[in-house]
Amino acid sequence: MGDLIKVTLIGLISGMAGTSIGGLMAFFVKRVNRRFISTILEFSAGLMTSVVCFKLIPEAFKYGGIKFTFFGVFLGVTAILLVEEIMGRAEFVKTKKQNSGLLRAGMVMAIGIALHNFPEGFAVGSGFEASVSLGMVITAVIIIHDIPEGIAMAVPMKAGGFTSKKAFALTALSGVPMGFGALLGAIVGGISEKFIGACLSFAAGAMLYVVYGELMVESKKLYLGRLPSLSNVFGIVCGIIVTTIS
């Protein structure tokens, strides 16, 4: 029970820490710099790609074998697709404020990030069940990854009319589901090694779709220059370094 509480707290604190750091930008930024947000989203995408491909999936193979890994990745992708479908059919934000487009973008981004923080927490929980070193690597990378996402939430909300404090608070709260995900990942992953493999691959599939179906798509909508692409490559290299030295 003590270990479950520790893992849950690690997931909760790391989820809120990354988005909160990014959310601090709400106090300093008065307008949306599309190139800047695009660049940091691409770096985040590259970092996550490396961790998934060079750490999560190899560990999933180790514990679960090819069948459990493939099945887990498939379920992870499917879960995020269902979330996207639900979000696409729902009107989450209705506002008549000036710059309501920016405000809605920030709010929808916050909801989306809160939802996909759950499988990231799942990765943390199942990662710690596999090994402490894997859990720590995943936690560190997710904190770094959540910083640009926090910026991507807070800046549009601030530019759309929210106060800095309100934008920051909503950004920080979007990290809370990661704690619940970490708890579930630790519980399910603790059943057997096969389940650890399935949990890791589920998180890998979910994170890969978030990268290629959300982060990179949104990045290209914001800015099409070379800088974001270079940032993506830099993120991949940084991810390789992190996974190699761990």
Phi/psi at 229 (5° precision): -65, -40
Estimate to the nearest angstrom the gap between the alpha carbon of 108 and the chain centroid.
15
Q: Quick one: average pLDDT of 152-181?
A: 82
| pLDDT, tens digit (0-9, with 9 covering 90-100), for 94-122 | 544 444 555 665 666 676 677 667 777 88
Q: Quick one: average pLDDT of 224-241?
A: 91
Sign of the C-alpha dihedral, residues 19, 22, 26, 31?
A: negative
Round to whole Å and give the CA distance between 83 and 69: 21
For the chain, the domains span 2-245
Sign of the C-alpha dihedral, residues 56, 176, 151, 25?
A: negative
The contacts of residue 54 (CB under 8 Å, 6+ apart) are 239, 240, 243, 244
Which pLDDT value is given to residue 107? 66
